[in-house]
Structure 1
Amino acid sequence: MFWFLLIALVVVVTAVALAVVGGGDGPGHTATGGLADAPPDLAEAWLPPDRPVNRADLEALRLPMAVRGYRMADVDDVLDRLGAELAERDARIAELEASLAGEQAAAMGGPDLFEKPGDAPEEPR
């Protein structure tokens, strides 16, 4: 029984060694033999550089993995981009709200709000 297990172990180790070194032309092997290099782990979908990010872009975003979680540089890039776009949108919203408040104040009566329609403004003495 011991010799059978020893021979089986040698056969399995030899088969694995031949597969790694290059003992076939099947899928996953290169023309020169051996296993093909694994493609680099890159992002499947990235944020569009030519337009603002929308919800669908974030849902499609897949950050590349590293040995221990996500790659910090890629996560930092995404967070920097989103932070910049949020700051830009906040500034635009504040600008539009200020413009709207000014237009509403002008529509309500402007500077002569408390004068009666028939009264003439007082002249300085």
Structure 2
Amino acid sequence: MVWVFFIAVAVLVVAATVALALGRVAVDPVPAPVTSTPALELDPHPRAADIDAIRFDTALRGYRMDQVDEALDVLYARIVELEHQVAPRPDEVDPQPAEGRGEPRP
């Protein structure tokens, strides 16, 4: 009677192997991401304390890429905004240095 059990197990193993090889059975090796923290809500005008407070969920190979990308997009937009405020515009830049204008040196 034991031999019937072994034959049944062997048939099931062969059938499962063939089904996997032919693609009849789908295997999902990576599960769907699970969020354990609330959605990343970074202020459009972040401050240093806001950046220090950012926490990302961990994933299979590090952090959740979608959360990191979202944070980087907000920070990029803010840095661009600050650069436009600080950097002179090309039409406002004086093409001649102070020495070449003929003004007396102090």
Task: Report the TM-score, using the length of structure 1 for normalisation.
Answer: 0.40
| Higher relative contact order structure (alpha carbons within 8 Å, sequence separation ≥ 6) | 2
Task: Report the TM-score, using the length of structure 2 for normalisation.
Answer: 0.46
Tell me which structure has the larger Cα radius of gyration: 1
